[in-house]
Amino acid sequence: MSAPLSAEQMAGASPTAMPADIEKAARRVERRQAFSAALLVLPLIVLIAFAFLIPVGLLLFKSIDNPVVAEGLPETLTALQSWSPADGLPSDAAYTGLKRDIEKAKAEGTLGVIGARLNQDTPGARSLLQATGRRLDATTDADPHQAFIAIDKRWGEPEIFGAIRNAGDRYTLNYYLNALDLTRNTAGDIIAKPEGQRLHINLFIRTVWVSALTAFVCFLLAYPIAYLLAHLPARRANLLMIVVLLPFWTSILVRITSWIALLQKQGVVNDALASLGVIGEAGRLALIYNMTGTIIVGTHILLPFFVLPLYSVMKTVNPNLVRAATSLGASPFTAFRRVYFPLTVPGIFAGSSLVFILCTGYFITPALVGGQNGQLISNIIAYHMQQSLNWGLAAALSTLLLVMIGIVYFLYTRLVRDQR
Amino acid sequence: MTSLVSLRGIQKTYDGKQLVVKNLDLEVSEGEFLTLLGPSGSGKTTVLMMLAGFETPTTGEIVIAGQHMTRLPPQKRGIGMVFQNYALFPNMSVAENLAFPLEVRKLPTVELRDRVEKSLAMVRLTPFADRRPSQLSGGQQQRVALARALIFEPRLVLMDEPLGALDKNLREQMQYEIKQIHARLGVTVVYVTHDQSEALTMSDRVAVFNDGIIQQICPPKELYERPGNSFVAGFIGENNRLSGVVRKIIDDECLVEIAPGVTVKARKVGVHATAEPTTLSIRPERVKISPQAGEVDTVIAGEVESVLYHGDHIRAHLRGLGPAPFVVKLPNTNGAAATLVAGASVSIGWASRDCLALDLMEA
């Protein structure tokens, strides 16, 4: 038998009068759930932190870190503080400081490192410093100014001191200037590099161009494949999916080598065309060791990255939508253009940004099949990492690449959002 | 009424072996609301798809308003269609969805806007014109789909289980709304559903499909009162089945022996000769409990197995009449259930016009 509820009981049941301890208990449950969720992703976070964020952060730091000259030639730099190349040669104090710095560096064995660092900006500075170090002992303390000029007449010109001062900042933007084809003159002003040394900007432009072109070719190839995959009966779709994924099962080097066999001057494609009489022996096509090669091979390697996201989006498009459009009077083409295609744009966006970003970072492919004009920015970064050991410049180039991809991605997102 | 749609000698097979639709002839009158009703796989949706042009008949022809349409693509048929789950274009707003059929018909902008506005007003969605379909409730999406199928003023509208995704209350409301629009516009509707109550409440005529064949096509009332065979009797509403053998035929009635020595009088529907086996069908609500003498033609004794309380009515399962429990449905009026107690013996009876002798039900 239920009696009518009293006013107090009614109030107790309403959520506004929730007792404080229930609220606390609810929050405790929530906290426990959040904690167990965090535990699940903890291994990944640790891995990313130690294998990705910290190393990349340290490398990016290298692009502004510049300790060698600042720590190697401290007294020289102090004496040069108020000096400007327009004043002519620096004071005797600078020469005295330089002498002491060089002697100290010799004793510590760091003279070679300092010379190498100066050589990055001023070719010949390494040998100058080494030679000066060797012959400095023979001179007296009497007049360091004259003594230096006697060793090498370059010490009698202000340029070398300007170079030392430009390289002497503990933290520097000079690597970025270099990466953007800029440099500093002896007075420390930012100027464009001489024509023949401008290299990076063109490489950045070429990287964007090649990546965009690869993404576009991938789009042209992937759209019909993904459409077929999404609309075939399951059994045949699975077979086609295996064919799409087949390239993933083969080593990238094997695939590139096969492309070389196919595309080179005496390769399968050229031989076939020549024997069919489409091209003459003299007119064999240059399909590899140039930008064409980079794009062909890059497209092949990256195609699955376009097909898969596009396929997964197409799978979600309700087939009744196209039917509805035709039943409302639209031709199959109009139905595709107005209904189906707009609904697959997110897949195109995902696929093209994936291919574009992977392509900007590719360096094995261009290194092997790119020849002279198929090299991308990553190849220069690899060169400075492995050959020239100018890590500061490599780091600056990498940072700029990262920023560039960020900007492209941002613009692209805006474009896609406006279009929808 | 003139015939708008003719399906003549239609057969359809997908694999060349099994016929999904077997030799179908169907006429739909101008302004009619025809429902194709049947269990899944009965061929009703295939018929609709052939009408819309998404499937081609293997044999036979389709004529709509005097025009041969058998091989015409859907976009040239001018038929409105409402799909299961609405099929609204998610990349367009409500107004753009409605404008789509007019745009592809290259209507002048002024007229187009005018029609879209009127259409929005018809389904009471004017404030939602700029919303995306995903921002609407199921019922609202349904109304947009309906308006979109009607906006280009087709003479024929096809609906493929349009209310299947809605909950019960909303479904009843939408049934009413579709009927209203149908009455107002006078458009011809071919409606596919597997929900029998929907078919009965909405249609002018119902075609019951099973196994690729129309089992019966007639107005809803006749379908319930006079099912043509035991499939229709079993599919539309509840019925009690008793098997027996025909002993005697008198005009449109017959005597059927349901147990040794027990003979009942029934209306002759699906039997033709004496000694023929038959299935008797009796609706649960037509059975009387403890009938007065002379009130009914047949009286039989049974034992109450269980009683279920349903609020507005009471159901009782009786034992002793055939293998399955015999269901009786009583309106819940004062004292109706007094005699119905589990284990009690009761007498039940029915009028012979409520007892139909149908064809033998195949197992």
Task: Give the CATH architecture of domain B3-231.
Answer: 3-Layer(aba) Sandwich (3.40)
DSSP of A112-134:
HHHHHHHHHHSTTHHHHHHHHHH
Which chain A residue lies closest to B75 (C-alpha atoms)? A329
pLDDT grade for B311, boundaries at 50, 70 and 90: confident
Interchain contact, A320 vs B105, CB within 8 Å: no
The highest-level CATH class for domain A200-419 is: mainly alpha
Considering only the beta carbons, identify the residue of B77, B80, B83 that sits closest to A320: B83
State the pLDDT at residue A311: 95
Q: Mean pLDDT throughout A352-380?
A: 88
Question: Within a 10 A sphere around the Cβ of A373, how many other Cβ atoms?
Answer: 13
Chain B residues closer than 8 Å to A321 by CB: 87, 89-90
* Tokens coding A110: 């760091």
- Kindly tell me if the per-residue pLDDT of B288 is higher than 90: no
Give the range among A176-190, A285-299, B93-107 with minimum mean pLDDT. Answer: A176-190
Burial of B250 (0-12, 13-18, 19+ CB in 10 A): exposed
Cβ proximity of B161 and B83 under 8 Å: no
State the pLDDT at residue A140: 59
State the pLDDT at residue B1: 62
Strands (E), chain B: 3-13, 19-29, 33-37, 59-64, 67-68, 80-82, 156-160, 188-193, 205-210, 213-218, 240-250, 253-259, 262-268, 277-282, 288-289, 298-309, 313-319, 326-331, 345-350, 355-358
Chain A residues closer than 8 Å to B100 by CB: 325, 328, 330, 338
pLDDT grade for A7, boundaries at 50, 70 and 90: very low
Tokens 């023979």: give the residue.
A138
Burial of B143 (0-12, 13-18, 19+ CB in 10 A): buried
Cβ proximity of B80 and B154 under 8 Å: yes
CA distance B201 to B108: 40
Domain residue ranges in chain B = 3-231, 239-358
State the pLDDT at residue A11: 46
Query: Residue B326 pairs with which residues in a beta bridge?
Result: B318
pLDDT grade for A30, boundaries at 50, 70 and 90: very high
More confident residue, A310 or A249: A310
CB under 8 Å to B210, separation ≥6 — which residues? B38, B39, B42, B231, B235
Identify the CA nearest to A370 among candidates A212, A259, A208, A238.
A259
Chain B residues closer than 8 Å to A323 by CB: 52, 54, 74, 81, 83, 87
The per-type count for chain B, helices as H runs and strands as E runs, is 8, 20
- Kindly tell me if the per-residue pLDDT of B183 is higher than 80: yes
Cβ proximity of A31 and A130 under 8 Å: no
CA–CA distances in Å: residue B197 to residues A313, B158, B191: 38, 19, 13
Tokens 């209310």: give the residue.
B163
Which chain B residue lies closest to A420 (C-alpha atoms)? B91
CA distance B363 to chain A (A): 35
Amino acid at A343: L
**Complex prediction ipTM:** 0.83
Interchain contact, A327 vs B79, CB within 8 Å: yes
Query: Residue B282 pairs with which residues in a beta bridge?
Result: B240, B355
Average per-residue pLDDT for chain B: 90
State whether residue B209 sits within 8 Å of chain A by CB: no
State the pLDDT at residue A277: 86
User: How are strands ordered across the β-sheet holding B326-331?
Assistant: B288-289, B345-350, B298-309, B313-319, B326-331
Q: Mean pLDDT throughout A248-273?
A: 89
Which chain A residue lies closest to B81 (C-alpha atoms)? A327
- Kindly tell me if the per-residue pLDDT of A142 is higher than 80: no
The highest-level CATH class for domain B239-358 is: mainly beta
Considering only the beta carbons, identify the residue of A323, A328, A420 that sits closest to B104: A328
State the pLDDT at residue A10: 47
- Kindly tell me if the per-residue pLDDT of A359 is higher than 80: yes
Cβ proximity of A76 and A96 under 8 Å: no
Instruction: Quick: pLDDT tens for B120-174.
Output: 999 999 999 999 999 999 889 999 999 999 999 999 999 999 998 888 888 888 9
B362 secondary structure, DSSP code: P
State the pLDDT at residue A42: 93
Domain residue ranges in chain A = 17-62, 69-167, 200-419
Amino acid at B301: A
Give the range among A202-211, B131-140, B331-340 with minimum mean pLDDT. Answer: B331-340
State the pLDDT at residue A15: 52
CA distance A355 to B39: 49
SS3 B292: coil
User: How are strands ordered across the β-sheet holding B80-82?
Assistant: B80-82, B156-160, B188-193, B33-37, B205-210, B213-218
Considering only the beta carbons, identify the residue of B75, B78, B152 that sits closest to A331: B75
Kindly report the length of chain A: 420
Instruction: Quick: pLDDT tens for A285-328.
Output: 888 888 899 999 999 999 999 999 999 999 999 999 999 999 99
Instruction: Quick: pLDDT tens for B41-50.
Output: 888 999 999 9
Chain A residues closer than 8 Å to B74 by CB: 323, 326-327
Tokens 């016009």: give the residue.
B353
Chain A residues closer than 8 Å to B77 by CB: 327
The gap from C-alpha A237 to its chain's centroid, in whole angstroms, comes to 36
Burial of A375 (0-12, 13-18, 19+ CB in 10 A): buried
Cβ proximity of A373 and A291 under 8 Å: yes
* Tokens coding B168: 């019960």
- Kindly tell me if the per-residue pLDDT of A267 is higher than 50: yes
Instruction: Quick: pLDDT tens for B184-216.
Output: 999 999 999 988 889 999 999 999 999 999 999
Strand B253-259 to strand B240-250: parallel, antiparallel, or no bridges (unpaired)? antiparallel
Considering only the beta carbons, identify the residue of A323, A328, A343 that sits closest to B101: A328
Interchain contact, A339 vs B89, CB within 8 Å: yes
State the pLDDT at residue A420: 53
State the pLDDT at residue A141: 61
Buried b (16+ CB within 10 A) or exposed e, A149-188: bebbeebeebebbbbbbbbbeeebbbbbbbbbbbbbebee
